[in-house]
Structure 1
């Protein structure tokens, strides 16, 4: 299917090397649009491609009751159009080119797609990012007082930083909060698989905070791509929350990765408490749109995914 200069391609027809080169070259490129990431987490994905892969849009899709739809996929927090020289007209052209067989949409776009389109109602959501290019001293002086207090508390409890935590241990802690809520066993297995690959490439790293008895109080998996470090999976022990473990962990990561051309991407949040926590390190909001469209006939709307 071709609309103007935009083609709809099934996954098998997508040139993986050219796709990944396009994501790398895009000013709004992201981990979540890399072909290997999409292949790992999406049961199905096709794409819209303009010209010689100048601009691209992944279309992760699922099927329910025989109906194909575009919906959220766990661990894929940005979608939409990727490329350079984007504007409202280009975004509309891509959205117009989505095949009509996808009659229900509910998915995120990205911070480079932040345009108002009357034909496509969107909701702005909030992410927090912290540039790590300044020195540690310059970053740390912007911490709120409560961050300093909690780091001091963690040090007083003799917590230690552990960068040799096994990913399975992070998943065990994370699943206490997420299991049967958003992530399934299959999702975690997919995460485990991609972590093994990226860690072997030097593009993934785990930080943990342990007590002096070896108990894991806080942990996080970071992935590196497109000039960002993504704070992607967090596993915290309930006792660590009031002991400053998460504060100590993020500070340790910042200390180790400051003065580099890198941005710490907190991957959220619209939840006020988390937003306050991330901003307490000096992070600032970055907005991106999400889109929801229901073109199902009235008698089928009960099938909404």
Structure 2
């Protein structure tokens, strides 16, 4: 039986244990991250926290919707084992009891419905030399041609101007403000790492990553377009993999842009597709009018 628990009623010790001991474990589902990113959130549970499903909530048009916050890629159902029957029960309860604007399950959840999928690319921890054998030929060439660059770990304070000048992908000022707030939050929690590629004294490319547990996740890869021919992005990703992939897995955090997707894939990463429920504003308004 699936039950809903409001935030105030959640046993966070049991919730933490359920997430950390689940086969689907990811940091997006942690209380720390959800508290920061979500306007509000609650959970669905089965049994005594045997399976849990966090639900981010946000008010839009004066109505509360299930809506994934910015910078949160995958949530879904978490448990000590994969169980398609239980996952289907969660799915049915979810769509029957929530107005869903956008929700992303995790790549290990499966359902009977023909849902839309999004793509993520991931590298499990592996010896670097074994991974490099799987690099695309063009990526090997780009990495080789970028060895004139210098790799350096940077503080957030050293990186802000470069990020403000060159960051692309967030058009709204309020979303950019959220990004910088998130970076400061991650830094305060010792989860943020920033790496730069330098051509002589010029910073030409920068990567912001989240380092949590045994996983590194790419939050942003930012280029100075004047230096694209120097392959700074290839250089940075290769250096991060060189230094860390034998111990840490690497999560590219996905992309809907074909060129970026191919870039991620070219480092020998594996595709992970995750199901999403996505409704347009128009569809939601129609649904509300019908119910009204």
TM-score for the superposition, normalised by structure 2: 0.88
| Counterpart selection for 1:178 from 159, 169, 185 | 169
CA contact 2:82–2:108 (8 Å) conserved in 1: yes
- Change beyond 3 A, Cα 1:31–1:125: same
Secondary structure in 1 aligned to 2:268? Answer: coil
Superposed displacement of residue 80, structure 1: 1.0
Equivalent position of 1:193 in the other structure: 184
Do the aligned residues in 2 keep the contact of 1:48 with 1:57 (CA within 8 Å)?
yes
Partner residue, 1:283: 269
Q: Deviations over 1:75-115 (max 9, x none)?
A: 100011111223322112112333856323321110111x2
Q: Which of the numbers 260, 263, 272 marks the counterpart of 2:249?
A: 263
Call closer, same or farther: CA 1:182–1:280 in 2, change over 3 Å: farther
- The 3 A distance-change label for structure 1 pair 133 and 170 is farther
CA spacing shift, 1:64–1:172, aligned 2, 3 Å: farther
Alignment of 1:130-279 (within 5 A): 130-134=123-127, 136-155=128-147, 158-166=148-156, 169=159, 172-173=162-163, 176-181=167-172, 184-199=175-190, 203-213=191-201, 215-225=202-212, 227-260=214-247, 262-279=248-265
* RMSD between superposed Cα atoms in Å: 2.6
CA distance in 2, matches of 1:91, 1:132: 28
Q: From the superposition, tell whether residues 181 and 122 of structure 1 become closer, same or farther in structure 2 (CA, over 3 Å).
A: farther
Distance of aligned partners of 1:14 and 1:274 in 2 relative to their CA distance in 1, 3 Å threshold: same
Instruction: Give the match for residue 69 of structure 2.
Output: 73
Out of 8, 28, 31, the residue aligned to residue 12 of structure 1 is 8
Q: 1:122 aligns with which of 110, 115, 121?
A: 115
Structure 2, gaps ≥5 residues long: none
8 Å CA contact 1:165, 1:208 repeated in 2: no
CA-CA distance at 1:160 after TM superposition = 0.7
* Alignment check: 8 A CA contact 1:167 1:206 kept: no
- TM-score relative to the length of structure 1: 0.84
Query: What is the deviation of 1:56?
Result: 0.8
